[in-house]
Chain A
């Protein structure tokens, strides 16, 4: 299945964030939620069918104009499933941000046998701000993890701020070794870029909030389950509220 979705958020003269474009197709269905006529807009990914299967090719494009504030969430976790023998499922997210974007979806869950590639490229203009959260659970309860490769490129003011790939599952040598995830079966990261960055700290044994070389901070966490990851990352994300 191929599907594409696109969101364009713009600020009008009164500072209200309008969604100039909000277009999706199954399984990338989008719904505007929350109050209207405010300085920020919230969009939920509602998921029109079961999560990505092998062979799926999904594209989400996001554009946040100057002065606009957009938050994207999802209504439920994304279950990555095996499906028929086919190439990996692909999820490509491209975003350009001049205002602010908060990307706060529910976790992705890598069911045994899945093969999923996520590719994220975010370009933030100088002065813009970004909060980009991605959580991953490696296998449903008591099942081995499927294969997931997640590639993230975040650029700020024309320079690459954060470039990261995480690969888990049977095709990733050493992923469950003590250098990568160890015994953890959940991991998450939140990249914050732009002005007003929080102070680095160590929220838990399996987590750290660290200053990137450029204008950004990464919070990263691992845990036996997603609750441990959320316990470390949720406060970090909540401390950076959307403007209202």
Chain B
């Protein structure tokens, strides 16, 4: 793993993990199992594209696997396969019985089994990304399933999305505002989104992202790198 790079970023694009002083979650402990990061957000916000970008950025430096919860069993996994970012054996799809939020929040058993099966099949892993099925602004991951969660919204959903709040926007460990390249086309004001996100989220970080301009999803990848590094330094 590389050291945490500090050369990139602007003021509105945080590149460090959250300050432990304001982190509402228990500290990450080290240990044999992988760091689990949930990636949620509304339909079409770019979750799968972000996962693909993270696989491209991190796949060579971290032992990683993906669990996908799309309501359609194979579509998300196929997207990752088609894009050649991860071999098939590193991807598991979980069926959610028309209830994507149930599978990541209320009854996480199928996802836990998928994570365990990946670790059993592949040996020790550094990172498992758990991608939720597209849902709405109220979906969040259970802490029984993941260690940290990223919530992805996009500017095309309207610049009022951060102001609306909801548990995903307010409590996610990292809020990603995606498709910033589209902002001028859809009339979304990024400064409004940034201001509203800060108002909703306090000190929790928000990252602005355009996968068209940054195929490596650098701010998000860096945020994950820092978590993995911190966790490796923490005794189990």
A and B touch in the complex (CB under 8 A): no
- Could you list which residues of chain A lie within 8 angstroms of chain B, going by C-beta atoms? none
- Could you list which residues of chain B lie within 8 angstroms of chain A, going by C-beta atoms? none
